């Protein structure tokens, strides 16, 4: 009897009217939640790394050759395109694109939820996602980096698979992977949908082709061997979990607790859904599970890794809320809104001492060098190059690739012998071909300091003298060849023998 009056209510709102009301709401919410991102010139070293890469690519650099990182190419290309259109002096265009990426993710989740559970569920999914999307340390949640631009592709993969568009789903999985490798985890729920709908024979070729063509195209547009090495095979040491177990465990627990606080409104209905799992939700649990594996992979547990969990969490909470009383639905949204307000306030008010240090260091570097000079910043803050407007003397923008001080570890396995294979010979050639006018030792007591690295120690002792200090960072200027014979003994002229190398099995901290 009730079905008769309820049916018109479900269909009374046309798709055009529905989206014309919902999209402005989601756009306003996406803008408000990411307002803190516009309050800083940059939020973390990944943004600085991408900005420097984009400048090098614009100057004729070749990705995975003269411009290297352990990441796929889509985001460096996006930064390069934004800089070409709007200039390279500000990340504001990338901040705007990050807002649009969050809006697109929310809209795709809303469309998935509406198709399954109705109009109200669509609104709920989009709103809940945006409310929890900033629920981490602001340097993780507000930065315009890999996860933010990966998530629309993961949502698009599920959206396409839900409609049986397998070629497009494969292409979306490929785009997620080409933004960040862990984006490929969404292939598991997509494959499950393909299997569940019994279209494996017809859909699998389209899914496989949709994935393979973009990935092979990206490899061919860069350097196939370099693409394979830097995105897959060359990261074994980075992904090693040994050597910093307690340090990493503390980070994992901290970031898990932070995200749990942000999801205080979502977790009760998700737990309820876990107790009363309904048919048809298996792909959402697979999405959450594969995303959790992606967070754990490599045992780094940085906060921004956890962003990958938020889309499936929002959908699972929506799936549970749509059958609960209205007051439970309202409580979940209000709780999430209150948590979101706290995280937005944190982003607006929290100090950023490392950014202030990088800015002071960049000002000193710019003062002591000419715009055409190449410089070497020996540290884990590549943003110094970008802030100073100076060109790196080497393709290795941080000390991490040359010393294994990477991945936020605090273990002892740091030194030249633990570097990415083949990096030090290239580094030595680059230092000979275009010796930096200024070397900045920004190690500040960390285990990758020059006095532990024979090559860098000899470089400084042979042709550089200390000319200043900034917040503990030491500046060395190149001495003209005619004056080097009179160079007075500096801190790297005579050094005690290096202590024995630590036993194998540890990885060390550094850039994310």
413 and 267 housed in the same domain: no
* Segment holding 454, helix H or strand E: helix 454-463
Q: For 72-103, what is each residue's pLDDT tens digit?
A: 999 999 999 999 999 999 999 999 999 999 99
338 and 374 housed in the same domain: no
243 and 312 housed in the same domain: yes
What's the chain's average pLDDT? 88
Please give the pLDDT value at position 490: 55
465 and 495 housed in the same domain: yes
Task: Quote the CA–CA distance of 136 and 67 in Å, as a whole number.
Answer: 30
Q: For 362-373, what is each residue's pLDDT tens digit?
A: 999 999 999 999
- Crossing angle (nearest 10°) for helices 146-162 and 310-321: 50
371 and 244 housed in the same domain: no
Please give the pLDDT value at position 210: 97
10, part of any domain: no
**More reliable by pLDDT, 198 or 488:** 198
259 and 359 housed in the same domain: no
> Which residue, of 311, 333, 349, is where some domain finishes?
349
The residue segments making up the domain with residue 448 are 353-511
292, part of any domain: yes
Average pLDDT (372-380) is: 95
Q: CA angle at residue 165 from 163 to 168, to 5 degrees?
A: 130
269 and 410 housed in the same domain: no
Which stretch, 153-162, 294-303, 344-353, 411-420, has highest mean pLDDT?
153-162
386 and 398 housed in the same domain: yes
406 and 323 housed in the same domain: no
How many helices (H) and strands (E) are present in the chain, helices listed first? 22, 7
Task: Quote the CA–CA distance of 51 and 463 in Å, as a whole number.
Answer: 30
252 and 169 housed in the same domain: yes
127, part of any domain: yes
5, part of any domain: no
Q: Which residue, among 248, 329, 333, has the nearest Cα to 295 in the 3D structure?
A: 248
pLDDT band at 303; cut points 50, 70, 90: very high
486 and 500 housed in the same domain: yes
330 and 374 housed in the same domain: no
Q: How many domains would you assign to the chain?
A: 2
For 194-220, give one letter per residue: b (16+ CB within 10 A) or e. beeeeeeeebeebbeebbeebbeebbe
Q: Report if pTM > 0.85.
A: yes
Q: For 446-486, what is each residue's pLDDT tens digit?
A: 889 999 999 999 999 999 999 999 999 999 999 987 665 55
């Amino acid at each position: 009897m009730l079905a008769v009056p309820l049916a018109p209510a479900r269909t009374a709102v046309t798709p055009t009217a529905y989206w014309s009301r919902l999209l402005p709401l989601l756009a306003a919410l996406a803008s408000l939640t990411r307002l803190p991102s516009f309050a800083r010139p940059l939020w973390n070293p990944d943004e600085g790394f991408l900005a420097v890469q984009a400048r090098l690519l614009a100057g004729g650099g070749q990705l995975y050759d003269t411009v290297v990182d352990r990441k796929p190419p889509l985001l460096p290309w996006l930064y390069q395109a934004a800089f070409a259109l709007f200039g390279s002096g500000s990340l504001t265009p990338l901040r705007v694109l990050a807002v649009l990426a969050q809006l697109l993710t929310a809209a795709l989740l809303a469309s998935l939820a509406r198709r399954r559970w109705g109009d109200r569920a669509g609104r709920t999914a989009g709103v809940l996602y945006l409310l929890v999307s900033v629920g981490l340390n602001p340097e993780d949640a507000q930065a315009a980096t890999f996860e933010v631009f990966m998530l629309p592709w993961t949502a698009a993969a599920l959206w396409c698979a839900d409609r049986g568009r397998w070629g497009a789903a494969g292409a979306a999985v490929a785009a997620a992977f080409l933004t960040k490798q862990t984006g490929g985890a969404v292939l598991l729920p997509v494959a499950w949908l393909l299997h569940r709908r019994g279209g494996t024979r017809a859909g699998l070729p389209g899914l496989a082709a949709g994935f393979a063509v973009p990935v092979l195209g990206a490899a061919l547009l860069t350097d196939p061997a370099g693409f394979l090495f830097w995105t897959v095979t060359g990261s074994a040491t980075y992904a090693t979990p040994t050597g910093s177990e307690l340090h990493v465990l503390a980070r994992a627990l901290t970031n898990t607790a932070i995200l749990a606080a942000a999801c205080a409104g979502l977790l009760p209905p998700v737990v309820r859904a876990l107790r009363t799992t309904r048919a048809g939700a298996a792909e959402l649990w697979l999405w959450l599970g594969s995303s959790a594996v992606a967070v754990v992979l490599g045992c780094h547990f940085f906060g921004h890794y956890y962003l990958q969990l938020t889309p499936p969490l929002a959908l699972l909470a929506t799936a549970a809320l749509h059958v609960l009383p209205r007051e439970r639905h309202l409580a979940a949204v209000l709780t999430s809104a209150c948590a979101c307000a706290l995280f937005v306030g944190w982003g607006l008010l929290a100090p950023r001492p490392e950014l202030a240090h990088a800015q002071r260091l960049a000002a000193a570097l710019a003062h002591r060098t000419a715009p055409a000079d190449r410089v070497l910043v020996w540290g884990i803050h590549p943003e110094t190059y970008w802030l100073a407007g100076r060109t790196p003397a080497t393709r290795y923008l941080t000390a991490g690739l040359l010393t294994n001080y990477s991945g936020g570890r605090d273990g002892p396995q740091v030194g030249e012998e633990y570097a990415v294979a083949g990096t030090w010979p290239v580094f030595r050639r680059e230092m000979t071909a275009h010796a930096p006018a200024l070397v900045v030792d920004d190690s500040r007591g960390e285990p990758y300091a020059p006095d532990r690295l024979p090559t860098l120690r000899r470089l400084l002792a042979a042709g550089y003298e200390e000319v200043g200090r900034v917040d503990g960072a030491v500046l060395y200027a190149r001495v003209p060849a005619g004056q080097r014979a009179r160079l007075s003994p500096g801190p790297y002229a005579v050094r005690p023998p290096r202590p024995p190398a630590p036993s194998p099995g540890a990885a060390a901290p550094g850039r994310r």
